[in-house]
C-alpha cells in the first residue's frame, strides 16, 4: 500500500509546482474508488446535502450527518488525506463549540483535517481550532453556506475591490494557520495572483488553472447529478444515462422473464430434489 498523504506532502507539492488533486466522496465505495485512483486529498463535503440527501442547499446538513458520511469514507480510503466539511452553524456561534465540533471530525469521523468557510471574520475561530491541534482548510470566494448573503451562486471577485478583499481574506486565513485554502468561483487571473502570493496551497473549483490544485464534486465529474451543472464542471463520464439504461433493462428483463437466466441460478442434486418434491407433494 502506498504511503499515507500528509500535510507536508501537500505543502511540498506547492513548493515543487506539482499540481494537487482533490475529489469529494461521501461513502465507503466513493472513498475506496477515489483512493485507488491516487487522488491526494478527499473532501467529505457538505455538498452531500444535495447529491446524497436531496436537499436544496448545504445549509440544513447536520453534524451527525457529516460524521456518519466521514466514517464511511474513512473506511474506504487508506492513502488519501481526508478533510471533513464543517456544516453550517457548527463553528459560527462560539469558538469553543467550533473546537469541540472540529475535534469530533478527527475523533469520531476519522478525518485528518476540517474545512470551514469564510474570510477575515472567521480567523479567530480558525486560530483557536489550529491551536487545539486540528488542521484547517479555508474556503473563500463562493461560499455555499452563505449563498443567501451573496445573492445566489455568483462568481466572486469580478471587480477590483472584490478581488482585493479575496486576497486580504486569503492572507488572513494563512496568518490564522490554515494549511490550504479552497478558492471557489473566482476569476482565473485573480485566483492565480492569490496563489502566487500565498505560501500555502490553493485548491481551485471554478478558479482556473493558476491554483496549486483542483477539486471537483464526485457526482459532477461522473455525470451522476443532473439537477444542475456548474460552468466549471468537466464531466469525465455520463453515468446517469448508463445507470438509467441498466435499471430500465433490468426491469424489462424481469417483466419478460429473461432474467434470471439458467446461468444465474443455483443447481440441486437430482436425487435430493426428487426427494424434496415427493415430500412436499405427498
b/e map 196-223, b = 16+ CB within 10 Å: eebebbbbbbbbbebbbbbbbbbbbbbb
Shared domain check, 36 and 146:
yes
Shared domain check, 189 and 59:
yes
User: Which pLDDT score is estimated for 152?
Assistant: 66
**Phi/psi at 214 (nearest 5 deg)?**
-135, 145
Q: Work out the average pLDDT over 261-279.
A: 95
CB 203, CB 184: distance < 8 Å: no
C-alpha–C-alpha distance, residues 234 and 220, integer Å: 8
User: Which pLDDT score is estimated for 15?
Assistant: 98
- Give domain status of residue 2, yes or no: no
| CA-based torsion, 144, 194, 187, 235: positive or negative | negative
Note the helical H segments in 160-223.
160-176, 188-197, 218-221
For residue 230, pLDDT beyond 90? no
Burial (CB < 10 A; 0-12, 13-18, 19+), residue 59, is middle
How many structural domains comprise the chain?
Answer: 2
- Give domain status of residue 210, yes or no: yes
- Give domain status of residue 162, yes or no: yes
Q: How confident is the model at residue 131 (pLDDT cuts 50, 70, 90)?
A: very high
- The model's pTM is 0.94
Average pLDDT of the chain is 95
**Cα-based angle 29, 32, 33 (whole degrees, multiple of 5):** 85
Burial (CB < 10 A; 0-12, 13-18, 19+), residue 167, is middle
- Give domain status of residue 171, yes or no: yes
pLDDT above 90: percentage of residues in the chain: 91
Shared domain check, 168 and 254:
no
- Give domain status of residue 270, yes or no: yes
Shared domain check, 175 and 261:
no
Shared domain check, 250 and 134:
no
- Give domain status of residue 39, yes or no: yes
Shared domain check, 250 and 219:
no
Shared domain check, 249 and 109:
no
- Give domain status of residue 136, yes or no: yes
Cα of 32 vs its chain's centroid, Å: 13
- Which tens digit of pLDDT belongs to each residue from 15-30? 999 999 999 999 999 9
Shared domain check, 135 and 156:
yes
Catalytic center residues: 184
Shared domain check, 117 and 249:
no
C-alpha–C-alpha distance, residues 145 and 116, integer Å: 10
Shared domain check, 207 and 265:
no
The domain that holds 34 is classified in CATH as: 3.20.20.60
Shared domain check, 212 and 120:
yes
Q: How confident is the model at residue 1 (pLDDT cuts 50, 70, 90)?
A: low
What is the residue range of 255's domain? 242-281
User: Which pLDDT score is estimated for 126?
Assistant: 98
Shared domain check, 249 and 222:
no
For residue 148, pLDDT beyond 70? no
C-alpha–C-alpha distance, residues 88 and 60, integer Å: 7
- Give domain status of residue 1, yes or no: no
Amino acid at each position: 500500500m502506498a504511503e499515507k498523504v500528509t500535510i507536508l506532502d501537500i505543502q511540498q507539492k506547492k513548493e515543487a509546482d506539482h499540481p494537487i488533486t482533490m475529489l469529494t466522496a461521501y461513502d465507503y465505495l466513493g472513498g475506496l474508488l477515489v483512493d485507488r485512483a491516487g487522488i491526494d486529498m478527499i473532501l467529505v463535503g457538505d455538498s452531500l446535502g444535495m447529491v446524497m440527501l436531496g436537499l436544496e442547499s448545504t445549509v440544513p446538513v447536520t453534524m451527525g450527518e457529516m460524521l456518519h458520511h466521514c466514517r464511511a469514507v474513512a473506511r474506504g480510503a487508506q492513502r488519501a488525506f481526508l478533510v471533513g466539511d464543517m456544516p453550517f452553524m457548527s463553528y459560527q456561534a462560539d469558538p469553543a463549540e467550533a473546537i469541540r465540533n472540529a475535534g469530533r471530525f478527527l475523533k469520531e469521523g476519522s478525518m485528518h483535517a476540517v474545512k470551514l468557510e469564510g474570510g477575515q471574520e472567521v480567523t479567530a475561530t480558525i486560530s483557536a481550532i489550529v491551536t487545539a491541534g486540528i488542521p484547517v482548510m479555508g474556503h473563500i470566494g463562493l461560499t455555499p453556506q452563505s449563498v443567501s448573503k451573496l445573492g445566489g451562486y455568483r462568481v466572486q471577485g469580478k471587480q477590483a475591490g472584490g478581488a482585493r478583499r479575496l486576497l486580504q481574506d486569503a492572507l488572513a486565513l494563512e496568518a490564522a494557520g490554515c494549511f490550504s485554502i479552497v478558492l471557489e468561483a473566482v476569476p482565473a487571473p485573480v485566483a492565480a495572483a492569490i496563489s502566487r502570493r500565498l505560501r500555502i496551497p490553493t485548491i481551485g473549483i471554478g478558479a482556473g488553472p493558476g491554483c496549486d490544485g483542483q477539486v471537483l464534486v464526485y457526482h459532477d465529474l461522473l455525470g451522476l447529478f443532473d439537477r444542475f451543472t456548474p460552468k466549471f464542471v468537466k464531466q469525465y463520464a455520463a453515468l446517469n444515462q448508463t445507470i438509467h439504461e441498466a435499471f430500465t433493462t433490468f426491469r424489462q428483463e424481469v417483466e419478460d422473464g429473461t432474467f434470471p437466466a439458467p446461468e444465474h441460478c443455483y443447481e440441486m442434486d437430482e436425487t435430493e430434489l426428487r426427494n424434496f418434491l415427493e415430500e412436499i407433494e405427498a
